[in-house]
Chains A and B, each alone.
Chain A
């Protein structure tokens, strides 16, 4: 299992993928808002989304798991 983690602390403003979606390495999967700026979080590897661990409005810290991938 692979994990996509938050690259910085912030609030989740959008989740751009659904469970079961195939994502490619480099694609944006979540939008965070940090210090009044939208910060995209990209997948580092390709895979299929098996779990979305956050909801819009959640506050996350750097390193928190946002999404789990397989494959």
Chain B
């Protein structure tokens, strides 16, 4: 079937990103938005826009029936959920199917299996994929948590099965810390995800977060599009991503990419997706989770492989065969993405407000995917990410130099942003050497003053 009209069930930079590919393909786009987002560029850039509710996400971007109604009113063929929000919601995908609308993503059962971390671990272990040593079940109370942690050996990582964005996650060095952390982590998981199943994994020392982009069609053909290094994080959330990873050797790169394809095959994956791994200092890697959607950092992969991942999603949704063989996917040059957040560069506290002046960098090897313009208001209702700077070059050094030039060109007045922090990262010795771990942000030297 041919997709002629798409509704985008998302907002901000990713809605604009999807509109861009749709325009190039001659596909009509329908934006849905909250009352607060009415003045945002993505609303104007779509061919039509529908208000779906008041500012809080539960009343707008998570309001399935309002979105389905908008889709029916506009006779759309497919819904693109972007990332976050409803993108990994099996019930939403089922509601789309009931209405005869294509949900751009994998089957609901696959999303649900991968969304539940305990279930995902179990599926991967059955498929022979290495997982972080740990306990594969829901833990009842702090007593049981302590006894399991003692078996695994400290330090351990306490995690929520339904978790995401670092919520309900806690490193514990000893029994006392497990006792202290268990109830509070469980409570937060309940409040955020409505599911308080907790499990425990061994804490991986000198951790690197490395993920592999994969794509699978409806005909069983699955390919990888190489890795992204995502170890620069604050509060367990990514800030800078790059490809290739400066930490991986070629043998490990080949192994981790092959393992990601096996993981996707094990669940019969369709669509684009990401297999996340955690790697220790010895380049041993373990399955962490699978993200069954487009990732924020997908442009890094687009920059080094030359493929448009949104276009690939549309092809797969139309049940076309992916005509690309694994050998045709080549990593060329180097790309780095820097996420621009409306937040204090030192404390990382969010900074809502109105952007009085906004100018984005331009030039060779520079791509900007952003959500805002001069006069845009950053409201407290949504994620603080306002845009992404993606730089590419023939070498990593060239990409870093371009990133520095591009950062210097940015003008974002009226709110606080993390631009000074990003500059500090680019100049940091460990970053330049490419030897950083997920502990980098906590350990980095700060030249920026508050």
Contacts and interface: CB of A to CB of B under 8 A. Distances in A.
A53 to B, nearest CB: 19
B14 to A, nearest CB: 15
A59 B57 CA distance: 13
Interface in A37-62: 37, 39, 59
Contacts of B75: none
A65 interface: no
A35 interface: yes
Contacts of B380: 8-10, 34-35
Chain A interface, DSSP helix/strand/loop, else mixed: strand
Nearest to B167: A38
B384 A36 contact: yes
Bin the interface of chain A by size: 10 to 19
Nearest to A32: B380
A13 interface: yes
A59 B380 CA distance: 10
With a 10 A CB-CB cut-off, give which of A8, A10, A34, A36 has the most chain B CB atoms. A36
Given A8-B352, A10-B380, A35 B56 contact: no
A36 B382 CA distance: 6
B109 interface: no
A35 B382 contact: yes
B191 interface: yes
Given A35-B342, A35-B383, A36-B165, A9 B352 contact: yes
A7 to B, nearest CB: 9
B317 to A, nearest CB: 28
Interface in B226-259: 235
Contacts of B352: 8-9, 34-35
A59 B56 contact: yes
B349 interface: yes
Contacts of B271: none
A34 B191 contact: no
Which 6 pairs, one residue from A and one from B, show the smallest C-beta to C-beta distance?
A35-B350, A9-B380, A35-B384, A34-B380, A10-B380, A36-B383
Interface of B: 56, 165, 191, 235, 342-343, 349-350, 352, 378-384
Given A9-B379, A35-B383, 19 more contacts: A8-B349, A8-B350, A9-B352, A11-B56, A13-B191, A34-B350, A34-B352, A35-B343, A35-B350, A35-B378, A35-B382, A35-B384, A36-B165, A36-B382, A36-B383, A37-B350, A37-B384, A39-B349, A59-B56
29 contacts: A8-B349, A8-B350, A8-B352, A9-B352, A9-B379, A9-B380, A11-B56, A34-B352, A34-B380, A35-B342, A35-B343, A35-B350, A35-B352, A35-B380, A35-B381, A35-B382, A35-B383, A35-B384, A36-B165, A36-B382, A36-B383, A36-B384, A37-B235, A37-B349, A37-B350, A37-B384, A39-B349, A39-B350, A59-B56
